[in-house]
């Protein structure tokens, strides 16, 4: 934790140093947006796409547009502090600022928080666990990357207790949706498939880039509604996220899978083009 660099509202601060108001709406009710981006060789991957998604979340929450120049100052500051990050995570959050104890807002200025730190690269493959809970595709915040993450904390703990790296949600229609911080893909009949955005899943940046790059490479890729039990029959499964890239899945609950050719190709395409296109 001590290696994480922190910038709040214009200044670098210690990880354990008080730096936001006790009544900040991001603390009291989770009223805020955030982005997590990969840092690779000291550079932020897909920075422009992350900034655009932050705007979509802020708009969906009814918050003012974030000041991207101000955020850029914070990003520069945390990346310049200490040793360069070979591989890690940049996270920036913008909250509704100080507010009342309830869910109402006032006209307080937004709070800006930027953090960055190194972390291990993802494993060669991993397992996932299907949760007993669902995503609500009709939620007011469906598809938004908000700081209200308690649901994900509980689900991820459930998965970790079962030795899995991620937890998988269905939506209320019984369709495959997403993981706590990752999107999910399956392969059936040689075709790469992933749930559409109207399933309630987050529009993941790595998901988006993977779709584009796999199609560019000539792979057949389909966004379509999928039943949750496709995980029991799919030939291959992988997940995507900013710090997991394209991560093959070798087990879903008690079912073991091979890392197949479509997954290997998708992972190779993503890894290769990441080296060439830092801000695709």
- 68-114 per-position pLDDT tens digit: 999 999 999 999 998 999 999 999 999 999 999 899 999 899 999 99
Which of 43-47, 82-86, 208-212 is least confident? Answer: 82-86
Q: Dihedral of CA 7/12/18/19: which sign?
A: negative
Question: Are 116 and 82 contacting, i.e. CB atoms less than 8 angstroms apart?
Answer: no
Tell how far CA 201 is from the center of its chain.
11
Please list the residues that pair with 191 across neighbouring strands. Answer: 188
pTM of the model: 0.95
Evaluate if residue 1 carries a pLDDT over 90.
no
- Give 145-179 pLDDT, tens digit per residue: 999 999 999 999 999 999 999 999 999 999 999 99
Within 189-276, strands assigned E span 191-194, 221-223, 236-241, 245-252, 255-256
pLDDT at 2: 62
* List of residues 6+ apart from 171 with CB closer than 8 A: 134, 135, 136, 137, 177, 199, 200
Q: 264 or 15: whose pLDDT is higher?
A: 264
């Amino acid at each position: 934790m001590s290696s994480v660099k922190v910038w709040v509202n214009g200044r670098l601060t210690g990880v354990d140093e008080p730096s936001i108001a006790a009544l900040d709406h991001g603390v009291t009710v989770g009223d805020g947006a955030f982005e997590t981006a990969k840092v690779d060789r000291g550079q932020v991957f897909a920075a422009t796409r992350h900034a655009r998604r932050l705007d979509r979340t802020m708009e969906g929450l009814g918050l003012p547009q974030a000041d991207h120049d101000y955020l850029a100052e914070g990003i520069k500051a945390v990346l310049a502090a200490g040793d360069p990050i070979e591989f890690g995570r940049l996270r920036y959050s913008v909250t509704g600022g100080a507010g009342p104890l309830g869910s109402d807002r006032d006209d307080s200025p937004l709070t800006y928080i930027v953090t960055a730190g190194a972390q291990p690269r993802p494993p060669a493959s991993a397992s996932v666990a299907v949760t007993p809970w669902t995503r609500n595709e009709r939620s007011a915040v469906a598809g938004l990357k908000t700081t209200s993450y308690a649901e994900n904390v509980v689900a991820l703990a459930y998965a970790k207790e079962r030795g899995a790296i991620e937890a998988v949600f269905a939506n209320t229609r019984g369709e495959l949706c997403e993981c706590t911080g990752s999107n999910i893909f399956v392969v059936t009949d040689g075709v790469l498939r992933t749930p559409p955005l109207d399933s309630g899943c987050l529009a993941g940046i790595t998901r988006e880039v993977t779709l584009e790059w796999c199609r560019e490479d000539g792979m057949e890729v389909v966004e379509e509604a999928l039943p949750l039990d496709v995980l029991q029959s799919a030939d291959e499964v992988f997940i995507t996220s900013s710090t997991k890239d394209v991560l093959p899945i070798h087990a879903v609950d008690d079912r073991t899978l091979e890392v197949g050719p479509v997954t290997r190709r998708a992972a190779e395409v993503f890894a290769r083009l990441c080296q060439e296109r830092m801000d695709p």
